């Protein structure tokens, strides 16, 4: 057996002491957290200057107070789509384009229901305005982006010319196909999945609850990699769980808490941990 000299002992000790450092570096290589804000139902209307000023306030607030965001998600009914020539869609885009980070939108019933001939814009124009962001893959009426190992699905739940909504078979297959890759997934859409506010009128439920929720729960929520859904439409805030998925409906931006206090939701994802809080512009 080779004699252990003092020099060999020091070399061996140094080598062994280095091993835990390598292991620690490997253990510390965690997924980056994803930080974003969800804004829904802002209902910007060029005939109501206060609503335009609210969008400007929102952009300024985010740029000043939340400078480390990965993006902002807009959940539909972003503008009222009731102006001749569709100018409101262009104004909305010009305002939110001043955000310091990327932004992504889905339609609400306002965008899918122009006021009439010559007013508002249809879906083709909407897509050309908002569905051409860098990194966005568009399939039919839906889109997907990837950030920091997470995938965000923008699913269109609207029925043209109607307030109520449902997922088409094309949308369902798109979502199923994307979630088959097992990447941690977020879904952004407009119509909520449940009667979370405890409504009792059938007409009200038909208007506000996604029409084929039972099928959606069976086909989409059964995926363990579906971490979070984000909706709006009813303007009433809610945070619940369905089959292990956090289900958030953010208070409508159009419903300020007080003068100039317009609501949004800040969300941070780290692995499967989801931190969220309702925030206000003032």
Residue 64: which CATH number? Answer: 3.60.21.10
* pLDDT score of 276: 98
Distance CA 96, CA 98 (A): 5
| Mean pLDDT, residues 261-265 | 98
Residue 115 confidence (pLDDT): 81
| Structural tokens at position 34 | 């994803």
* Domain contains 21: no
Does 147 or 21 have the greater pLDDT score?
Answer: 147
Number of domains in the chain: 1
List the one residue out of 10, 8, 32 whose CA is nearest residue 271: 32
Asked whether residue 79 is assigned to any structural domain, the reply reads yes
Whether 15 is covered by a domain: the verdict is: no
What is the distance between the alpha carbons of residues 193 and 187, in angstroms, rounded to a whole number? 12
User: Is 163 within a domain?
Assistant: yes
Percent residues over pLDDT 70 in the chain = 89
**Is pLDDT at 18 greater than 60 in this prediction?**
no
- 144: containing domain: 31-280
Whether the predicted pLDDT of 6 surpasses 80: no
Which residues lie closer than 8 Å to 56 by C-beta, 6 or more apart? 95
SS (H, E, C) the chain: CCCCCHHHHHHHHHHHHHHHHHHHHHHCCCCCCEEEEEECCCCECCCCHHHHHHHHHHHHHHHHHCCCCCEEEECCCCECCCCECCHHHHHHHHHHCCCCCCEEECCCCCCCCCCCCCECCCHHHHHHHHCCCCCCEEECCEEEEEECCEEEEECCCECCCCCCECCCHHHHHHHHHHHCCCCCEEEECCCCCCCCCCCCCHHHHHHHCCCCHHHHHHHCCCCCCEEEEEECCCCCCEEEEECCEEEEECCCCCCCCCCCCCEEEEEEEECCEEEEEEEECC
Provide the pLDDT confidence category of residue 116 given band limits of 50, 70 and 90.
confident
What's the predicted TM-score (pTM) here?
A: 0.89
Tens of pLDDT, residue by residue over 145-204, are 999 999 999 999 999 999 999 999 999 999 999 999 999 999 999 999 999 999 999 999
Q: Is residue 125 part of a domain?
A: yes
Is residue 266 situated within a structural domain? yes
Query: What average pLDDT score do residues 2-8 get?
Result: 49
pLDDT of residue 24: 36
Q: What's the confidence (pLDDT) of residue 118?
A: 85
Residue 1 placed within a domain = no
Per residue in 37-94, pLDDT (tens digit) is 999 999 999 999 999 999 999 999 999 999 999 999 999 999 999 999 999 999 999 9
Contacts of residue 77, defined as CB under 8 A and 6 or more positions apart, other chains included, come to 40, 41, 42, 43, 108, 109, 110, 111, 190, 232, 233, 252
Nearest to 55 by CA among 42, 46, 64: 42
Q: What pLDDT, on the 0 to 100 scale, is given for residue 111? A: 96
> Which pLDDT band holds residue 30 (cuts at 50, 70, 90)?
low
In a domain, 221, yes or no: yes
């Amino acid at each position: 057996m080779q004699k252990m000299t003092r020099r060999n002992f020091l070399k061996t000790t140094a080598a062994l002491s280095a091993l835990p450092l390598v292991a620690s570096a490997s253990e510390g290589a965690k997924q980056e957290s994803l930080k974003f804000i969800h804004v829904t139902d802002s209902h910007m209307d060029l005939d109501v200057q206060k609503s335009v000023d609210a969008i400007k306030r929102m952009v300024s607030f985010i740029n000043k107070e939340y400078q480390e965001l990965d993006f902002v998600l807009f959940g539909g009914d972003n503008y009222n789509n009731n102006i001749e020539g569709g100018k409101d869609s262009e104004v909305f885009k010009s305002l939110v384009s001043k955000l310091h980070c990327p932004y992504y939108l889905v339609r609400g019933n306002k965008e899918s229901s122009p006021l009439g001939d010559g007013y508002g814009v249809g879906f083709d124009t909407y897509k050309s305005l908002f569905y051409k962001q860098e990194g966005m893959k568009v399939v039919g009426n839906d889109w997907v982006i990837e950030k920091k190992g997470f995938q965000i699905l923008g699913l269109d739940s609207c029925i043209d010319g109607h307030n109520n909504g449902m997922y088409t078979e094309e949308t369902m297959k798109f979502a199923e196909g994307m979630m088959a890759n097992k990447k941690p997934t977020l879904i952004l859409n407009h119509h909520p999945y449940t009667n979370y506010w405890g409504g009792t009128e059938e007409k009200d439920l038909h208007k506000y609850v996604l029409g084929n929720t039972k099928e959606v729960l069976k086909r989409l929520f059964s995926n363990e990699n579906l971490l979070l859904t984000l909706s709006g439409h009813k303007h009433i805030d809610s945070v619940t769980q369905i089959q292990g998925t956090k289900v958030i409906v953010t208070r409508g931006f159009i419903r300020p808490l007080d003068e100039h206090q317009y609501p949004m939701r800040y969300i941070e994802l780290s692995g499967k941990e989801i931190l969220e809080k309702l925030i206000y512009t003032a």
